[in-house]
Amino acid sequence: MELDVVSDLRKDYINRLFSERKRIDGRTPEELRPVAVETGVVTSACGSCRVKWGETDVLVGVMVEQGTPFPDTPDRGVLVTNAELIPMASPYFESGPPRPESIEFARVVDRGIREAKMIDLAKMCIKPKEKVYLVYVDMHVLDFGGNLFDAGLLGATMALNSATVPAKRFGYGEDFKLPVEHWPISITSVKIENGLLVDPNLDEERVAEARLTVTTDENGDVRAMQKGLVGKLSFEDVQSIIKTSQRCGAELRKRLKLGAD
């Protein structure tokens, strides 16, 4: 309950700052936090990436296994996305079965990858109806500083982009780079009493009324959206947030030179 008390004070402070177009960490309402990425950090994985997005720290590992395909898609590989909100990342994370928050996080990231068709799963077929590659994306949240969705998706996409399919190990020829085609980026915004903030940090997320995550591709088309928290969003809020996501997404792409290899 003391959290609520802190939130009320924080909420007022955050809203007051907003009226001067400022935020607690000095950003403007339309500014992203500094983002640093590093791939290849876990050599036991087929691909990996560590993302430090503001104070949020997420480590994503990609493992490729072989297995049988789903019966309705006998000639396509399988993508599985999972998230671990491990207790060390936050005083609010407990060990145990996956909470709804972690399930939602994993599914929204998965949606971004899948709907953007980042991996052409048709290229991940070994033998139709019998054997396909299974691509596992596991996101490990090491430090929860607000806004997991964006950091998670970025880590996942970078890990996938740098992943190698260990075909040799399974006896299917030479190892090859995981074929990646498009590149989704998600940008999350929150609504506070006085307006909208992009890329919320932990405090901002906790006092926010509503949250909207928008995943776009390199053309700015929308591939996935997820509204969160219990508040309401007007039509205009949604329009504004989508536009912000398109703009910040493009900015981030340029900054990190994504898809430029």
Partner 1 sequence: MGGTQSEHKLINADGRTRYDGRKFDELRPLSIQAGVLKRADGSAYVEWGSNKVLAAVYGPREVHPRHMQNSARAIVQARYNMAAFSVGERKRPGPDRRSVEISKIISEAFTSVVFVEQFPRTTVDVYMEVLQADAGTRCAGLTAASVALADAGIPMRDLLPSVASGKVEGVVVCDLNKDEDTCGEADVPCAILPRTGEFLLLQMDGHLTYDELMQAMEYNRRACKIINEVQKEALRKKYSIITLENNVMKEEKPAEGRPEDRDQIGRPPESRLEPAQQGGA
Partner 2 sequence: MDEDEKEIMEDNGGKAGEPPAPRDRGKGPCPPLPTPVGPKDEVWRGRGTQDGSCEKPAQPGPEGTGGGPTEGERPKGDLPEGQEPERGGEPGQMPEGGNPQPYREGRYEQSRRDGGGGGRGRDRRDGGYERRDGGRQERREPGRPPDVDRQLVLPGDDLGTHVRGGFGTYKDGESVYAACLGIRSTRDGFVSVIPLSGKYIPKRGDFVVGKVAEMTPSAWVIDLNSPYVAPLPGSETPWDAQFGEASKYMTVGDTVLVEIRDINEIGRVSVTMMGPNLRKLEGGQTIDVDATKVPRLIGRGGSMIGLLKRLTRCHIIVGQNGRIWLDGTVEDVTIALAAIKKIERDAHKLGLTDAVAAFIEGMRKELDEKRAKKEAGDDAREKNAVLQDRAERLEVQEEE
Among 55, 104, 114, 117, the residue binding partner 2 under the rule CB under 8 A is 114
What is the SS3 assignment for 248? Answer: helix
226 binds, among partner 1, partner 2, none (CB under 5 to 8 A by kind): partner 1
Contacts 24+ apart (CB under 8 A), 148-151: 148/56, 148/58, 148/83, 148/105, 149/105, 149/108, 149/109, 149/186, 149/188, 149/213, 149/226, 150/53, 150/185, 150/186, 150/187, 150/188, 150/199, 150/213, 151/35, 151/51, 151/53, 151/56, 151/57, 151/58
| 231 touching partner 1, by CB under 8 A | yes
Q: If binding is defined by CB under 8 A, does position 80 make contact with partner 2?
A: yes
Q: Applying CB under 8 A, which of residues 92, 181, 234, 255 lies at the interface with partner 2?
A: 92
224 binding partner 1? (CB under 8 A): yes
Residue count, binding to partner 1 (CB under 8 A): 39
Round to whole Å and give the CA distance between 54 and 246. Answer: 20
125 in contact with partner 1 (CB under 8 A): no
189 binds, among partner 1, partner 2, none (CB under 5 to 8 A by kind): none
Contact positions toward partner 2, by CB under 8 A? 1, 3-4, 7-8, 11, 65-73, 78, 80, 82, 92-99, 107, 110-111, 114, 134, 193, 206-210, 229-232
